[in-house]
Amino acid sequence: MSRPSNRIECSQEAFLKFVEFEPNSGCWLWSGANVHRYGYKRWTVDGVTKQYLAHRIAWLIFHGSWPRGEIIHRCDTPECVNPDHLRVGTHAQNMADMVQKGRSKKRPRWTEETRRAVLDHPGPNEAIARDLGVHVYSVYRARKHLLERRRLTTEEVLRIKGAAKTPLGTLAAEFGVSVSAIKHIRYGQTHRSASADK
């Protein structure tokens, strides 16, 4: 995100008009209307159409310079603009803070057992992702990769070639390969040498 000038005309008084002071936590909750996708609040400065994250503007107003790096919330409240609850850090420090405080959606590591479970699972990708606690796109990629790597025997190839009227998806499910693998066999793009005379 581009930075406004350090000489931006924005007073503490104007900024604090949009702040609700939370007495229990000490947070200054930004009440501006615009919300960033992760819950952080935005603010349009001096009528400029560009919007800035409110906690970054708070840093500028109360510390006198634009933050060099990411703002890390000590209070873990995205709406908070209290300068005492903010600190500047690197992206790595921000991510480490997130993991340490249990806010990350860290997914389990993929193992060969996970890959096999993905291939053996009878359900759709969404159900597999939910059951195994992994991302649905990872399931899609793993299934596609595993299905394309499966080696068919000559006998299986001949059965596929002989089933010209059977839908591609049905054959793919029966033989545990991708639909594209069945299509390539059916249209002679692969396994050309396999024939019934051999």
- Delimit the domains of the chain by residue range: 12-100, 112-186
Q: Which residue has the tokens 């159409």?
A: 49
| Per-residue pLDDT band at 195 (split at 50, 70, 90) | low
Query: Which CATH code of 3.30.70.980, 3.90.75.20, 3.50.50.60, 3.30.479.30 fits the domain covering 12-100?
Result: 3.90.75.20
Is 120 a residue whose pLDDT tops 80? no
| pTM for the structure as a whole | 0.47
Residues 75-107: b if buried by 16+ CB within 10 A, e if exposed: bebbbbbbeebbbbeeeeebeebeeeeeeeeee
